[in-house]
Structure formats: structure tokens, C-alpha cells
Amino acid sequence: MNLKNHLRIQSNHFRANYKEPDVAKTLSDQILPWFPLKANNYIAVFIGTDRSTGDALGPLAGTYFEEMCPQNLHVYGTVHDPVHAVNLQESLCSIYKKYDKPYLIAIDACLGKSSSIGSIIAENKPLKPGLALNKQLPQVGNMNITGVVNISGFMEHTVLQNTRLSLVMDMAIEIAGILKQIDNQLTPSLLTHTVKKTI
């Protein structure tokens, strides 16, 4: 769970409400330029647990995205095989051992202001998971996507447990859609890079 208190728009920080029209295309268009063409592998790490409604955003998004059969983004973290606080370090070690020079996208739920609930935030920097619950966890990813699922500042564990599942599911679907748009756009980029290498 990642805590966001101050949300502002800048070139490496974008956000949109999950209900906005074409939010998947809008955010994917902003995020795609952050992706390096020379990365050998693109990995989406969905962080969270299915034991907490609010913190299930990551695993749900991972499950939805995996069902979309991505071609270029590898999936870590689903409802059936979640990446959470207990196994996060082990999962990261496994990724870096298996893939050469991976580019990681971290996806997680976060808490924020009441007016920000429903916002999907993309940042061109690593994610610091666990801050909202005062957990010391390793940074994850080269960039991150988070969804504000509830209010921060008071009894975070209880707030997460009492987050509406309908909100979390709808946001997870949009986040999966964002990544699918990116996955589709990565294909021509990778083919172009491969052609240049072989000439």
C-alpha cells in the first residue's frame, strides 16, 4: 500500500479519474514514452493481497491483464498468485534472476485525499510500497501506476478492509486496459529495434 498525500501533474507524473472517457488511452499515451526501446524484458509487477478489499487492486488488475493475453509485458501478481509484503523480495530476486535487464512497472493501491479517490496515478519513478501501513519494503520498478482506493490518515488497515470492492474492481479493469494499450504499442517498437539490430 503506497501513501500519496500530494498529487500534482508534471511531465513525469500524470493522473486521471478512472471514470474519465478513454482513460486507458489517455494515460497509456502519456506513459509509453517512458519505456526504453532497449529493455530486454518488460515486467508488470502487481502488488497487493486478496485478503484486503482495498489492497486487492494490484492482484485484480494483474488477473484482468493476464486474461487479456499480453504479448510483450510479463505478469507477476494475480489473485491466485499474489505478490505481497511477505514474498515481495523473493519475487523481485526471481525476476532479476530470470530476465536480463528487465524494465519493471509496479502497480499498487494507495490511499489519498477524499477528492482523489478513484484517481489512477502514473509516475516515472520506482514505487515505495508499504508506506501507508508503515512497512519497510524494497522499492519496486522503474515506473509505477497506483490507484487511490480510499482516504489516508486514520486507521489505514480498517480503511483498506472497508473499501468498496466495486470501486477496486472497476479501477483494476481500467489499469489493465492501460497496460494492454501499452502492450499493443510495444510490438512495433520492438520490431523496429530488432530490424535495426540485424541490419
The pLDDT assigned to 155 comes to 67
For 130, the enclosing helix (H) or strand (E) is none
| Grid coordinates belonging to 42 | 518488460
- What is the identity of the amino acid at 170? D
- Beta partners for residue 2, in sequence order: 110
Q: What is the pLDDT of residues 79-110, one digit of tens each?
A: 999 999 899 999 999 999 999 889 999 999 99
Q: How many CB atoms lie within 10 A of CB 133?
A: 17
pLDDT band at 132 (very low <50, low <70, confident <90, very high): low
The pLDDT assigned to 133 comes to 58
Least confident of 66-75, 127-136, 148-157: 127-136
pLDDT band at 162 (very low <50, low <70, confident <90, very high): confident
| Grid coordinates belonging to 155 | 486507521
Highest-confidence range of 27-36, 146-155, 185-194, by mean pLDDT?
27-36
8 DSSP 8-state letter: -
Q: Report the alpha-carbon distance of residue 99 to residue 42 in Å, rounded.
A: 9
Residue 122 has pLDDT above 50, yes or no: yes
**Average pLDDT, whole number, for the chain?**
86
CB 46, CB 66: distance < 8 Å: no
Residue 134 has pLDDT above 60, yes or no: yes
Judged on CB neighbours under 10 Å (0-12, 13-18, 19+), 44 is buried
The pLDDT assigned to 105 comes to 97
Tell me the average pLDDT across 32-61: 92
- What is the identity of the amino acid at 83? V
- Beta partners for residue 43, in sequence order: 74, 104
The pLDDT assigned to 106 comes to 97
Tell me the average pLDDT across 21-39: 90
Grid cell 497506483 is found at 146
